[in-house]
Amino acid sequence: MMKTILTDKEIKYEGWQLSPHWIYKNFKIQGDATVAFVGECEVKLSEMVDIEDVINDEPIYSKLMLSFISEQFNVDLVEGVFRQRLLICIIKEALEKRGIKVVRNGDDLFVNNKKLTVSIATKSLTSILIHTGINIDSQGAPVSACGLKSDLGIADIKDFAIEVLTKYADELDDIVLASTKVRGV
């Protein structure tokens, strides 16, 4: 069962938080969990998990970002990437429900050819780890970007975050439940 929390604590995401048991150590939530928080995002090349971004010398910066960190156990990396893409699709659906035209390219979302999200999935020795960040304020981003509040007019970030957390947890739990109702052949 996926546990979720939206913390009111502002957290600057710097990449090192994408580590085993970060959620357990900081929020006392053991097992599969996803935490959402708001804060500045600045990931330097030394903290990058995405080797392609390191090779291309593309650090990440957002003045204000809604971040989701998820840790899930007993999952291999390919399934972790599937779960990352599911999270991205849920975010896309939540935006489209609000009348925003969104284009997905892999694990990235774009609005009007401007980048809205960053996302990565990786594997630790004990779990898979996912970070997905959605710009709230696009000012100062190193690429052509847009933000939930600054460009798309989504003022209630908390409501948006809770919707995404809930739908993601429900979908993962439903997938596991669905796997228990079929007869093997």
The per-residue pLDDT for 59 is 85
Domain extents in the chain: 3-175
Cβ distance 160 to 97 under 8 Å?
A: no
Work out the end-to-end distance of the chain between its first and last CA atoms, rounded to an integer number of angstroms: 27
d(CA 44, CA 54): 9
- Concatenate the DSSP letters of all residues of 2-45 into one string: -EEEE--S---B-STTSSTTHHHHHH---SSEEEEEEEEEEE-G
Strands 3-6, 33-43: pairing is parallel
Helix (H, G, I), strand (E, B) or coil at 173: helix
Cβ distance 11 to 41 under 8 Å?
A: no
pLDDT in tens, the chain (185 residues): 999 999 999 999 999 999 999 999 999 999 999 999 999 999 998 888 989 888 888 889 999 999 999 999 999 999 999 999 999 999 999 999 999 999 999 999 999 999 999 999 999 999 999 999 999 998 888 899 999 999 999 999 999 999 999 999 999 999 999 999 999 99
The per-residue pLDDT for 57 is 86
The per-residue pLDDT for 58 is 84
Cβ distance 95 to 160 under 8 Å?
A: no
Superfamily of domain 3-175: Bira Bifunctional Protein; Domain 2 (3.30.930.10)
Instruction: Write phi, then psi, for 79 (nearest 5 degrees).
Output: -65, -35
d(CA 4, CA 126): 19
Q: What is the pLDDT of residues 105-135, one digit of tens each?
A: 999 999 999 999 999 999 999 999 999 999 9
Helix (H, G, I), strand (E, B) or coil at 9: coil
The per-residue pLDDT for 50 is 87
Give the residue ranges of DSSP H helices in 70-135.
77-97
d(CA 137, CA 145): 9
